[in-house]
Structure 1
Amino acid sequence: MSRIQSFLENRFAPFATKLAGQRHLAAIRDGFISFMPFLIIGSLFIIIQDFPAPGWQELQAKLFGEGFNQFIILPKRVTYDIMSLYIVAAISYKLAQSYRIDAFSAAMLGISSFVLLSPITTTIDIDGQTHVVSRVITVGGWYGTNGILVAIITALVVTEIFNYFIKHNITIKMPEGVPPAVSRAFSALLPGFFILVMMLLVRLLFLQTKYQYIHEFIYNLVSLPMQRIVANNLFGAIGTVFAISLLWSIGLNGGTIVNGIMRPFWVPLQDANLAAIEAGKLPPNIITEQFFDMIWIGGAGATLAVVFLLMFKAKSRQYKELGKMSLAPGLFNINEPIMFGLPVVLNPIGIIPLVLGPVAITIVNYLAMAFNIVARPTGVIIPWTTPPIIQGFLITGHISGAILQIVDILIVMLIWWPFIAIMDKKRVEEESKMVYNGDNKSMNM
């Protein structure tokens, strides 16, 4: 145990801390987080459109007319379906902020560069004939979730070039007395011109290939293989929860680190599930970010089970009180009272079930969904503070998701119980010694 703790403290923790603070990964992570509220808003309208209740669609049509179903989904179209435009702006903005340069100009250059690299034509069918329509930015496709990887790369490259120009003073200098806002705008002129010319050349280069656009190239060579090998299979899911739990064991928020890396590969899978639901089909993908939301019952490590054990099985007065105080936060997936109060962080005994619990229910949940015993995630995003069981129902759109989370809590309780018993026994002994020493002191007085 001491060797494990020494390795975590002296080797793993410094590496993980450095990774979490890496400028570009932080910009990607913060960019997605800043856009997350809008995805939740879009998801709320998806729930309204496709609420899992018999006769809901017919009721909507009866009350509001036949076209209401497509009208109410418009907020989803302007959030999910042009997501890449928002993401390229958000990441450019966050990275520019870290360099302390004009973040707004970086975001605008990110958007314009992304559009330059993307198709601006589409096809429509009229009376059985296909027509090409030019000068169109489509809703969905490469402007939606499929273009996220290109959006990330574009944001990083554009901001790095912009930063190079600014830091090396390759800008147009305005005379003194010119308002700062005007001066700052003109400082983006030279780097902006260079960046857009460069993106135009990249577009021209890919038009000469079979891919036509960089999106197709990146999607086939990077995104699809990553989805198949890492993002959308059981082993990748196990690796994800293992990494997040291990990072939490040393006090680092593993979700912000790992999710920031994996989210670009999960989002297209989630969008495919949404598209299937809209078409009246079953969701094709099990692994989405919402799959992991169902794992983290009570927060990372699925620690709501620990709260129940402390409340109902622990004999230590301190642990019982900790369980009671941790219940309200745990019901809203806030785990810090358990992580730092038990503690689990840097506790060799607690680290083992912290990792084993989520891994076990990841396997159970994946197999339950793979064999269609439990409904798969619909792709709807809900706030991470949504209480468990309600969360499972909303994520899957089915009562089976709620039942699965109850089963998960019981499984994690079984895994944690032997370790809680060890810690509880030790804590009771310590409390008994404190009481005994206190009695002795009062007798001596």
Structure 2
Amino acid sequence: MYKIMLCCSAGMSTSLLVRKMVEAANERDLSVQIDAYGVSEFDMQFPQYQVVLLGPQVKYMLKTLSDKAASLNIPVQPIDTMDYGMQRGRQRPELCSVADPSGALRGVEMSSLYQSMIAVIEQSITPLAGRLGQQKYVIAIRDGFTAALPFMIIGSFMLVFIFPPFSPDTTNGFARGWLDFSQHYREQLMLPFNLSMGVMTFFISVGIGASLGRQFQLDPVMSGLLAFMAFLLVAAPYADGKISTQYLSGQGIFTALITAIYSTRVYAWLKQNNITIRLPKEVPTGVARSFEILIPVLVVIATLHPLNLFIEAQTGMILPQAIMHLLEPLVSASDSLPAILLSVLMCQIFWFAGIHGSLIVTGIMNPFWMANLSANQAALAAGTVLPHVYLQGFWDHYLLIGGVGSTLPLAFLLLRSRATHLRTIGKMGIVPSFFNINEPILFGAPIIMNPMMFIPFVCVPMVNAVLAYGATRLGWLSQVVSLTPWTTPAPIGASWAANWTLSPVVMCLICMVMSAVIYLPFLRAYERSLMKTEVEKAKNSVPVAETVS
């Protein structure tokens, strides 16, 4: 059986192409197995396959992944942008030998303006994004937060039971009963929240340590546990038989990042320099591995613990408190409108270059978002004003409605397009767009590296950001207090993130209308160019009878 691995940022959009390829294989009676994975799973999965196909949004990782797969002689090939966008499973060379004929869009796609833009992007933007996207520490931080996400989502979900979305003065029987129940059993209901969101740094530190350890060819379990111990050593002071939990949630996030990276680098350096306890070959591997970690544990304790004691003696603050004090201006700046617009602009430009900008931007912003989310949840529990606006729920449900570029309204417009190609893309992309997966539209229309769609693609989420931020500051829009899956449809996810209030639903609808208004004129101009090309191609395909003089 021929085994094919498709790889993109999270394995979501490639799974759509997998279905098409499987259908084509079944029609041709081909014995193949085709699976989709995210790039974070590449190292564990690729040895099982004969070929790896890489989505265009992570094409910048081609060399790195090819070098890894070369040891097993497994080829890594990029998927053509148009094949990916059009979900052309039947035209992949791995499944049939018939080359895919270029459609009418090729004439537009390969224009001189298009080629010039590609040259500029490839020479300037792509190398920068490639370096950022493949940076070991960015990858480790992203993987750490991804590993912690399920625990934090479930913990956040408990908030609606602990703090029902009703006024304390309500007379509604159901609402009154819910409020009374939550107040009577608040201590019991808080337990799952405190052991998930309240100790988010546990999951994050283990995840970062394991991911970074894997990149340094270390045992990921041991490197994850070492990172966990390093964090506890400085962030969980023990006194009077009790461990303080003050820095185990959002306030300790930056300490968790620093200690996880430090402890794993110590482990890697000691191993690379053969500073380790070696046991005879007769000793079982598991026992030998446990002895290998002894010196790294000793070094981490011997460095971090005295450092923590010294900082406390000099400043009266332990390490996580000192780090938060130093980073306070940066954390405050991350919650400002300029920070929102800058992060959106970076994401959109990277995506326009065909690079998964969301992966890069969220990897950088996640520590700030989680610290701010923890502060909002603490304020909710205390009954005080929520301090922060820019959190992951704000990013997912106001700026990325239907996916990057807020393309859900565009998907509806495509369904009514006069251009056959765009109508086809609209039909293919509308359902995934409800769940914020829009690669069929990005690569199929295409929007990626399409000069005619650059302005609305960049401007739409920035306009939405200004609207949502302004409405929040004016007190019209409820703030985010919960973590939600990014695939949750925007109006539902926005309401869920704000503890099921209605104002986020209204804001999502306003943002969708505004997005449609901005996209429409640019889409019409692009539509006219496509229709002209389609008409010319149709004329050229009609055989012309020769005249005999």
Fold shared per TM-score above 0.5: yes
Offset at 1:336? 0.5
8 Å CA contact retained: 2:236, 2:248 = no
Structure 1 stretches (4+) deviating beyond 6 angstroms? Answer: none
Measure, in 1, the Cα distance between the counterparts of 2:400 and 2:534: 32
3-state DSSP of counterpart to 1:193: helix
Partner of 1:280: 383
Measure, in 1, the Cα distance between the counterparts of 2:208 and 2:182: 40
Partner of 1:128: none
Partner of 1:227: 331
Measure, in 2, the Cα distance between the counterparts of 1:83 and 1:345: 36
1:114-193 matches, within 5 Å, as 114-121=231-238, 133-139=239-245, 141-193=246-298
3-state DSSP of counterpart to 1:424: helix
Partner of 1:385: 487
Offset at 1:437? 2.2
Offset at 1:17? 1.2
3-state DSSP of counterpart to 1:440: coil
Q: Give the number of equivalent residue pairs.
A: 427
Measure, in 1, the Cα distance between the counterparts of 2:258 and 2:182: 43
Measure, in 2, the Cα distance between the counterparts of 1:196 and 1:221: 23
Structure 1's 303 and 216: CA in aligned 2 closer, same or farther, altered over 3 A?
A: same
8 Å CA contact retained: 1:50, 1:57 = no
Partner of 1:310: 414
CA RMSD of superposed structures (Å): 2.0
Offset at 1:80? 1.0
Q: Deviations over 1:351-391 (max 9, x none)?
A: 221110101110011001111122222x2011111112122
Partner of 2:319: 214
Measure, in 1, the Cα distance between the counterparts of 2:135 and 2:496: 35
8 Å CA contact retained: 1:43, 1:381 = yes
Measure, in 2, the Cα distance between the counterparts of 1:85 and 1:135: 20
Q: Deviations over 1:269-306 (max 9, x none)?
A: 11121122223344222111111112110011101121
8 Å CA contact retained: 2:491, 2:509 = yes
Partner of 2:512: 409
Does residue 1:368 correspond to 2:368, yes or no?
no
| TM-score, length-scaled by structure 2 | 0.74
1:7-406 matches, within 5 Å, as 7-53=120-166, 58-60=176-178, 67-121=184-238, 133-139=239-245, 141-222=246-327, 224-229=328-333, 231-294=334-397, 295-312=399-416, 314-377=417-480, 379-396=481-498, 397-406=500-509
8 Å CA contact retained: 1:61, 1:68 = no
8 Å CA contact retained: 1:120, 1:137 = yes
Structure 1 vs Structure 2: percent identity of aligned residues? 28
3-state DSSP of counterpart to 1:272: helix
8 Å CA contact retained: 1:60, 1:68 = no
3-state DSSP of counterpart to 1:432: helix
Where do 5+ consecutive residues of structure 2 fail to align?
1-112
Measure, in 2, the Cα distance between the counterparts of 1:436 and 1:236: 51
Q: Deviations over 1:44-74 (max 9, x none)?
A: 2122333424566642366x68532332232
8 Å CA contact retained: 2:182, 2:189 = no
Measure, in 2, the Cα distance between the counterparts of 1:269 and 1:284: 8
Structure with greater proportional helix content = 1
Measure, in 2, the Cα distance between the counterparts of 1:247 and 1:439: 41
Offset at 1:4? 4.8
